[in-house]
């Protein structure tokens, strides 16, 4: 791995974990970051997100689309302008860019989501909303 890739990997860890660093019961593990050759200036960031029972990611937005797949358990997904939805293991979801949403684990067991964020390079992966 060259220095440039090492620095980019470190930036990914910082970008994905910083926005949600202080959320109790949420663990985000960066998996991959890559520039998109078919869309210059855009990148994909993939992260594994674990929700402890009762854990909540409060209202936030993304600069690009979030494409999620529930690997284990289930989450309640609350997307502005849409009915609340329970997404179970084996199901996917899409949150459009800039749309306020939140996710919560209302079950008594762990939930795991594989999340892919496709956004303009240099923009934050997530922005919290008050």
Q: In this predicted model, what pLDDT tens digit does every residue of 38-57 receive, in sequence order?
A: 999 999 999 999 999 999 99
Q: How confident is the model at residue 130 (pLDDT cuts 50, 70, 90)?
A: confident
- Are 34 and 76 spatial neighbours (Cβ–Cβ below 8 Å)? no
| Count of all residues that appear for the chain in the document | 130
Domains by residue range for the chain, with CATH: 3-128 (2.60.120.10)
What number of H helices and E strands is found in the chain? 1, 10
| Tokens (6 digits) for 68 | 């999620």
- What pLDDT is attached to residue 20? 56
Sheet strands side by side (includes 74-79): 85-88, 74-79, 101-104, 56-61, 127-128
Q: Tens digits of per-residue pLDDT, 61-77?
A: 999 999 999 999 999 99
The number of C-alpha atoms within 13 Å of 46 and in the hemisphere containing its C-beta is 8
Decide if pLDDT at 93 tops 50: yes
| Distance of alpha carbon 49 from alpha carbon 68, whole angstroms | 10
pTM (global) more than 0.85: no
- What pLDDT is attached to residue 19? 55
């Amino acid at each position: 791995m060259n220095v440039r890739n090492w620095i980019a990997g470190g930036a990914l860890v910082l970008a994905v974990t910083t926005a949600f660093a202080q959320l109790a019961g949420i663990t985000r593990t960066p998996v991959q970051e890559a520039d998109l050759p078919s869309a210059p200036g855009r990148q994909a960031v993939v992260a594994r997100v674990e929700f402890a029972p009762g854990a909540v990611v409060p209202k936030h937005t993304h600069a690009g689309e979030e494409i999620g797949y529930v690997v284990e358990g289930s989450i309640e997904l609350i997307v502005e302008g849409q009915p609340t939805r329970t997404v179970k293991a084996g199901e996917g979801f899409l949150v459009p860019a800039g749309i306020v949403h939140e996710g919560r684990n209302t079950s008594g067991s762990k939930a795991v989501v594989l999340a892919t964020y496709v956004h303009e390079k240099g923009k934050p992966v997530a922005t919290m909303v008050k």
